[in-house]
Amino acid sequence: MTPHPNMRETYGLTLLELGRENRDVVALEADLGKSTRSVLFQEAFPDRYFQMGIAEQNMAATAAGLALVGKIPFIHSFAVFAAGRAFDQLRNTISIPSLKIRICGSSCGFSDFGDGKTHQSVEDIAIMRSLPNMTVLSPVDSIETIKMMKCLIDWPGPVYIRINRSDLPFLFPVDEPYHIGKIIKLCEGSDVALLAAGVMVSRSLEAAKLLAEKGVSARVFNLSTIKPMNREALIEAVIGVRAIVVSEEHNIVGGLGGAVLEALRAVPHAPVELIGIKDCFGISASNYDEILCRFGLTGPAIAGAAMDLLRVSRH
Protein backbone atom coordinates (compact mmCIF):
# COMPACT_ATOMS: atom_id res chain seq x y z
CA MET A 1 0.00 0.00 0.00
CA THR A 2 1.34 3.40 -0.93
CA PRO A 3 1.62 5.61 2.12
CA HIS A 4 0.41 9.17 2.32
CA PRO A 5 3.05 11.34 0.60
CA ASN A 6 2.89 13.97 3.33
CA MET A 7 5.46 13.18 6.00
CA ARG A 8 3.68 14.72 8.98
CA GLU A 9 0.40 13.04 8.01
CA THR A 10 2.25 9.74 7.75
CA TYR A 11 3.80 10.39 11.14
CA GLY A 12 0.35 10.90 12.68
CA LEU A 13 -1.09 7.82 10.99
CA THR A 14 1.85 5.66 12.06
CA LEU A 15 1.68 6.92 15.64
CA LEU A 16 -1.95 5.88 15.61
CA GLU A 17 -0.95 2.44 14.41
CA LEU A 18 1.71 2.14 17.13
CA GLY A 19 -0.95 3.12 19.64
CA ARG A 20 -3.17 0.31 18.40
CA GLU A 21 -0.35 -2.23 18.63
CA ASN A 22 0.99 -1.20 22.02
CA ARG A 23 -1.13 0.13 24.85
CA ASP A 24 1.89 1.66 26.61
CA VAL A 25 2.27 4.20 23.82
CA VAL A 26 1.11 7.62 25.02
CA ALA A 27 1.28 10.98 23.29
CA LEU A 28 1.86 14.45 24.67
CA GLU A 29 1.23 17.64 22.75
CA ALA A 30 1.97 21.33 23.25
CA ASP A 31 -1.00 22.69 21.32
CA LEU A 32 0.34 22.03 17.84
CA GLY A 33 -1.48 18.76 17.34
CA LYS A 34 -3.18 19.83 14.13
CA SER A 35 0.25 20.54 12.65
CA THR A 36 2.20 17.64 14.13
CA ARG A 37 -0.82 15.39 13.37
CA SER A 38 -0.84 13.97 16.88
CA VAL A 39 -4.57 14.79 16.75
CA LEU A 40 -5.07 11.49 14.96
CA PHE A 41 -3.87 9.69 18.08
CA GLN A 42 -6.00 11.95 20.28
CA GLU A 43 -9.18 11.03 18.41
CA ALA A 44 -8.51 7.31 18.79
CA PHE A 45 -7.02 7.24 22.30
CA PRO A 46 -8.21 10.26 24.27
CA ASP A 47 -7.18 8.60 27.57
CA ARG A 48 -3.62 8.14 26.40
CA TYR A 49 -3.28 11.61 24.94
CA PHE A 50 -2.12 14.45 27.16
CA GLN A 51 -2.66 17.96 25.93
CA MET A 52 -0.09 19.89 27.95
CA GLY A 53 -0.84 23.34 26.59
CA ILE A 54 1.86 25.67 25.36
CA ALA A 55 4.38 24.45 27.92
CA GLU A 56 7.11 22.40 26.27
CA GLN A 57 9.33 22.19 29.35
CA ASN A 58 6.59 20.68 31.45
CA MET A 59 5.65 18.39 28.57
CA ALA A 60 9.18 16.97 28.33
CA ALA A 61 9.59 16.33 32.06
CA THR A 62 6.05 14.96 32.36
CA ALA A 63 7.02 12.49 29.64
CA ALA A 64 9.97 11.47 31.83
CA GLY A 65 7.55 10.66 34.64
CA LEU A 66 5.35 8.64 32.29
CA ALA A 67 8.37 6.69 31.03
CA LEU A 68 9.43 6.00 34.62
CA VAL A 69 6.15 4.15 35.20
CA GLY A 70 6.50 2.10 32.03
CA LYS A 71 4.90 4.19 29.30
CA ILE A 72 6.45 4.96 25.90
CA PRO A 73 5.74 8.67 25.50
CA PHE A 74 5.84 10.46 22.15
CA ILE A 75 6.13 14.21 22.66
CA HIS A 76 5.36 16.74 19.99
CA SER A 77 6.17 20.25 18.94
CA PHE A 78 7.81 22.07 16.10
CA ALA A 79 11.47 21.03 15.82
CA VAL A 80 12.64 24.45 16.88
CA PHE A 81 10.71 24.27 20.17
CA ALA A 82 10.99 20.52 20.76
CA ALA A 83 14.77 20.79 20.76
CA GLY A 84 15.33 24.35 21.90
CA ARG A 85 12.63 25.27 24.35
CA ALA A 86 12.95 22.20 26.53
CA PHE A 87 16.65 21.47 26.21
CA ASP A 88 17.44 21.31 29.91
CA GLN A 89 14.47 19.01 30.53
CA LEU A 90 15.52 16.75 27.66
CA ARG A 91 19.03 16.72 29.05
CA ASN A 92 18.39 16.14 32.72
CA THR A 93 15.13 14.27 33.05
CA ILE A 94 15.31 12.22 29.83
CA SER A 95 18.83 11.85 28.42
CA ILE A 96 20.75 11.30 31.65
CA PRO A 97 18.57 8.32 32.68
CA SER A 98 18.27 7.35 28.98
CA LEU A 99 14.50 7.06 29.10
CA LYS A 100 12.50 5.61 26.23
CA ILE A 101 10.91 8.82 25.03
CA ARG A 102 10.31 9.78 21.42
CA ILE A 103 10.61 13.45 20.57
CA CYS A 104 8.90 14.49 17.38
CA GLY A 105 10.48 17.63 15.97
CA SER A 106 7.82 18.52 13.45
CA SER A 107 7.82 21.22 10.74
CA CYS A 108 11.60 20.81 10.73
CA GLY A 109 14.12 22.89 8.83
CA PHE A 110 12.54 25.35 6.44
CA SER A 111 9.42 23.24 5.89
CA ASP A 112 7.43 25.84 7.83
CA PHE A 113 8.52 28.29 5.13
CA GLY A 114 5.96 31.02 5.84
CA ASP A 115 6.56 31.49 9.55
CA GLY A 116 10.10 32.82 9.36
CA LYS A 117 13.14 32.61 11.61
CA THR A 118 11.45 31.93 14.94
CA HIS A 119 9.73 28.81 13.65
CA GLN A 120 12.37 27.37 11.35
CA SER A 121 14.83 24.94 12.91
CA VAL A 122 18.39 25.44 11.72
CA GLU A 123 20.02 24.03 14.86
CA ASP A 124 17.87 21.16 16.19
CA ILE A 125 20.19 18.40 14.94
CA ALA A 126 23.20 20.05 16.55
CA ILE A 127 21.36 20.43 19.84
CA MET A 128 20.01 16.91 19.94
CA ARG A 129 23.19 15.30 18.66
CA SER A 130 25.13 16.83 21.54
CA LEU A 131 23.11 14.93 24.12
CA PRO A 132 24.65 11.63 25.27
CA ASN A 133 22.24 8.67 24.87
CA MET A 134 20.12 10.52 22.27
CA THR A 135 19.38 8.91 18.90
CA VAL A 136 18.76 11.39 16.08
CA LEU A 137 16.73 10.36 13.03
CA SER A 138 15.74 12.21 9.88
CA PRO A 139 13.56 10.15 7.50
CA VAL A 140 13.72 10.80 3.79
CA ASP A 141 10.07 10.16 2.94
CA SER A 142 6.85 8.62 4.21
CA ILE A 143 7.96 5.07 3.44
CA GLU A 144 11.00 5.44 5.64
CA THR A 145 9.04 7.31 8.31
CA ILE A 146 6.81 4.28 8.75
CA LYS A 147 9.69 1.80 8.83
CA MET A 148 11.60 3.99 11.26
CA MET A 149 8.69 4.54 13.61
CA LYS A 150 8.07 0.81 13.81
CA CYS A 151 11.54 0.52 15.35
CA LEU A 152 10.66 3.03 18.04
CA ILE A 153 8.80 0.61 20.29
CA ASP A 154 11.89 -1.48 21.02
CA TRP A 155 14.80 0.87 20.38
CA PRO A 156 16.39 1.75 23.76
CA GLY A 157 16.87 5.27 25.06
CA PRO A 158 15.51 8.58 23.84
CA VAL A 159 15.00 9.31 20.15
CA TYR A 160 14.62 12.59 18.31
CA ILE A 161 12.83 12.25 14.98
CA ARG A 162 12.84 15.13 12.54
CA ILE A 163 9.57 15.37 10.63
CA ASN A 164 9.02 17.49 7.54
CA ARG A 165 5.78 19.35 7.00
CA SER A 166 5.64 18.68 3.25
CA ASP A 167 4.77 16.10 0.68
CA LEU A 168 8.10 14.52 -0.23
CA PRO A 169 8.94 12.25 -3.19
CA PHE A 170 9.10 8.52 -2.42
CA LEU A 171 12.76 7.59 -2.45
CA PHE A 172 13.10 4.74 0.03
CA PRO A 173 13.06 1.39 -1.82
CA VAL A 174 9.72 -0.10 -0.71
CA ASP A 175 10.95 -3.65 -0.18
CA GLU A 176 14.28 -2.68 1.36
CA PRO A 177 14.50 -3.86 4.96
CA TYR A 178 15.22 -1.09 7.42
CA HIS A 179 17.00 -0.80 10.73
CA ILE A 180 18.16 2.22 12.68
CA GLY A 181 21.74 3.00 11.64
CA LYS A 182 21.33 1.74 8.12
CA ILE A 183 22.92 3.82 5.37
CA ILE A 184 20.86 3.39 2.21
CA LYS A 185 22.43 3.61 -1.22
CA LEU A 186 20.00 5.15 -3.69
CA CYS A 187 22.27 5.53 -6.69
CA GLU A 188 25.53 3.88 -7.75
CA GLY A 189 28.52 5.89 -8.93
CA SER A 190 32.30 6.01 -8.82
CA ASP A 191 33.63 9.58 -8.82
CA VAL A 192 31.65 11.37 -6.14
CA ALA A 193 29.70 10.45 -3.00
CA LEU A 194 26.68 12.57 -2.23
CA LEU A 195 25.50 12.08 1.34
CA ALA A 196 22.30 13.65 2.59
CA ALA A 197 19.35 13.45 4.93
CA GLY A 198 15.71 14.48 4.68
CA VAL A 199 14.65 16.70 1.82
CA MET A 200 18.24 17.08 0.67
CA VAL A 201 18.38 13.47 -0.49
CA SER A 202 16.13 14.31 -3.43
CA ARG A 203 18.32 17.34 -4.19
CA SER A 204 21.36 15.07 -4.14
CA LEU A 205 19.73 12.71 -6.63
CA GLU A 206 19.04 15.71 -8.83
CA ALA A 207 22.71 16.68 -8.47
CA ALA A 208 23.75 13.17 -9.50
CA LYS A 209 21.79 13.60 -12.74
CA LEU A 210 23.39 16.98 -13.41
CA LEU A 211 26.82 15.51 -12.75
CA ALA A 212 26.11 12.58 -15.08
CA GLU A 213 25.47 15.11 -17.86
CA LYS A 214 29.02 16.32 -17.28
CA GLY A 215 30.39 12.82 -17.32
CA VAL A 216 30.80 12.60 -13.54
CA SER A 217 29.47 9.51 -11.85
CA ALA A 218 27.95 10.07 -8.40
CA ARG A 219 26.69 7.66 -5.77
CA VAL A 220 23.97 8.90 -3.46
CA PHE A 221 23.33 7.82 0.12
CA ASN A 222 20.48 8.53 2.49
CA LEU A 223 21.94 9.03 5.98
CA SER A 224 18.71 9.01 7.91
CA THR A 225 20.35 7.93 11.16
CA ILE A 226 22.38 10.96 12.12
CA LYS A 227 23.22 9.55 15.52
CA PRO A 228 24.53 6.99 16.26
CA MET A 229 26.42 7.43 12.98
CA ASN A 230 27.21 4.06 11.41
CA ARG A 231 30.90 4.72 11.04
CA GLU A 232 31.81 1.46 9.38
CA ALA A 233 29.11 1.74 6.71
CA LEU A 234 29.95 5.41 6.13
CA ILE A 235 33.66 4.74 5.62
CA GLU A 236 32.75 2.00 3.16
CA ALA A 237 30.29 4.28 1.36
CA VAL A 238 32.96 6.82 0.50
CA ILE A 239 35.72 4.40 -0.48
CA GLY A 240 37.25 5.21 -3.85
CA VAL A 241 35.51 8.49 -4.59
CA ARG A 242 37.40 11.71 -5.27
CA ALA A 243 34.87 14.07 -3.67
CA ILE A 244 32.27 13.94 -0.92
CA VAL A 245 29.39 16.41 -0.59
CA VAL A 246 27.19 16.27 2.50
CA SER A 247 23.87 18.10 2.19
CA GLU A 248 21.45 19.00 4.92
CA GLU A 249 18.59 21.35 5.64
CA HIS A 250 20.32 22.57 8.79
CA ASN A 251 23.15 24.79 9.88
CA ILE A 252 26.48 23.52 8.55
CA VAL A 253 27.68 23.93 12.14
CA GLY A 254 26.98 20.81 14.16
CA GLY A 255 24.63 19.02 11.80
CA LEU A 256 24.89 16.01 9.48
CA GLY A 257 28.06 17.41 7.89
CA GLY A 258 29.68 17.61 11.29
CA ALA A 259 28.55 14.09 12.12
CA VAL A 260 30.03 12.76 8.86
CA LEU A 261 33.35 14.53 9.38
CA GLU A 262 33.56 13.27 12.95
CA ALA A 263 32.93 9.75 11.71
CA LEU A 264 35.55 10.01 8.95
CA ARG A 265 38.24 11.26 11.31
CA ALA A 266 41.43 9.23 11.44
CA VAL A 267 40.75 7.55 8.10
CA PRO A 268 42.01 8.83 4.75
CA HIS A 269 39.12 10.15 2.67
CA ALA A 270 38.35 12.43 -0.26
CA PRO A 271 37.86 16.17 0.34
CA VAL A 272 34.48 17.04 1.83
CA GLU A 273 32.20 19.99 1.15
CA LEU A 274 29.12 20.82 3.17
CA ILE A 275 25.91 22.10 1.65
CA GLY A 276 23.63 23.52 4.28
CA ILE A 277 22.50 26.69 5.96
CA LYS A 278 25.56 28.87 6.34
CA ASP A 279 25.31 29.72 10.02
CA CYS A 280 22.33 32.04 9.75
CA PHE A 281 18.62 32.01 10.54
CA GLY A 282 15.77 31.58 8.07
CA ILE A 283 13.25 33.94 6.50
CA SER A 284 9.59 33.91 5.48
CA ALA A 285 8.91 32.64 1.99
CA SER A 286 5.85 31.87 -0.11
CA ASN A 287 6.75 28.25 -0.74
CA TYR A 288 9.21 25.55 0.25
CA ASP A 289 11.24 25.45 -2.98
CA GLU A 290 11.67 29.19 -2.90
CA ILE A 291 13.26 29.20 0.55
CA LEU A 292 15.46 26.17 -0.20
CA CYS A 293 16.72 28.01 -3.31
CA ARG A 294 17.37 31.19 -1.36
CA PHE A 295 19.66 29.31 1.02
CA GLY A 296 21.41 27.38 -1.73
CA LEU A 297 19.89 24.03 -0.81
CA THR A 298 19.53 22.85 -4.41
CA GLY A 299 20.66 20.12 -6.76
CA PRO A 300 22.76 22.52 -8.87
CA ALA A 301 24.49 23.81 -5.71
CA ILE A 302 25.39 20.26 -4.69
CA ALA A 303 26.60 19.42 -8.21
CA GLY A 304 28.63 22.64 -8.30
CA ALA A 305 30.26 21.83 -4.98
CA ALA A 306 31.17 18.37 -6.26
CA MET A 307 32.71 19.83 -9.42
CA ASP A 308 34.73 22.32 -7.37
CA LEU A 309 36.06 19.53 -5.17
CA LEU A 310 36.98 17.44 -8.19
CA ARG A 311 38.96 20.34 -9.63
CA VAL A 312 40.88 20.59 -6.35
CA SER A 313 41.46 16.87 -5.95
CA ARG A 314 42.83 16.58 -9.51
CA HIS A 315 45.80 18.73 -8.56
Partner 1 sequence: MMADTATIQKLERLALQLRFDLLEMMGVGKAGHLGGSSSMAEIVACLYFHVMRYNPANPKDPERDRFLLSKGHCVLIQYAALVELGVIPREELKKAKTLDCCLQGHPDMDHTPGIEAVTGSLGMGLSIALGMALGLRLDGWRNRVYVVMGDGELSEGQIWEAAMAAAAYKADNITGIVDFNHIQATGPTKEILDIPNIAQKWKAFGWEVLEIDGHNIVQILRALEKAKNVVGKPAVIIAETVKGKGFSFAENNAAFHNGILTQDLYRQAFSELQAQRTALESRHAKEARS
Minimum separation from the CB atom of position 158 to partner 1 (A): 12
Is 26 an interacting residue with respect to partner 1 (CB under 8 A)?
Answer: yes
Q: Which of 21, 88, 188, 279 binds partner 1 (CB under 8 A)?
A: 88
Q: Which of 89, 111, 166, 222 binds partner 1 (CB under 8 A)?
A: 89
Residue 89 or 166: which CB sits closer to partner 1?
89
Binding to partner 1 by CB under 8 A, coded x per residue (else -) over 90-129, reads -xxx--xxx-------------------------------
Strand partners, 272: 244
Residue 26 or 194: which CB sits closer to partner 1?
26
Q: How far, in Å, CA of 108 to CA of 249, rounded?
A: 9
Q: Which of 9, 17, 29, 56 is catalytic?
A: 56
The full 3-state SS of 183-242, as one line of letters, equals CEEEECCCCEEEEECCCHHHHHHHHHHHHHHCCCCEEEEECCEEECCCHHHHHHHCCCCC
If binding means CB under 8 A, how many residues of this protein chain bind partner 1? 30
Minimum separation from the CB atom of position 55 to partner 1 (A): 4
Binding to partner 1 by CB under 8 A, coded x per residue (else -) over 41-60, reads ------xx-x-xx-x-xx-x
Q: How far, in Å, CA of 30 to CA of 36, rounded?
A: 10
Residue 98 or 313: which CB sits closer to partner 1?
98
For residue 261, give Cα distances in angstroms to 19, 222, 267, 314. 38, 16, 10, 21
DSSP category for residue 114: G
DSSP category for residue 305: H
Catalytic-residue membership of 232: no
282: helix, strand or coil? coil
Which class for 147: exposed (0-12), middle (13-18), buried (19 or more C-beta within 10 A)?
buried
| Region of 66-74, 113-121, 207-215, 293-301 interacting with partner 1 (CB under 8 A) | 66-74
Residue 16 or 199: which CB sits closer to partner 1?
16
The helix, strand and coil proportions of the chain, stated in percent and rounded to the nearest 5, come to 40, 20, 40
Report, as residue numbers or ranges, the catalytic residues.
56
* Residues of the shown chain interacting with partner 1 in the complex, contacts defined by CB under 8 A: 26, 47-48, 50, 52-53, 55, 57-58, 60-71, 73, 88-89, 91-93, 96-98
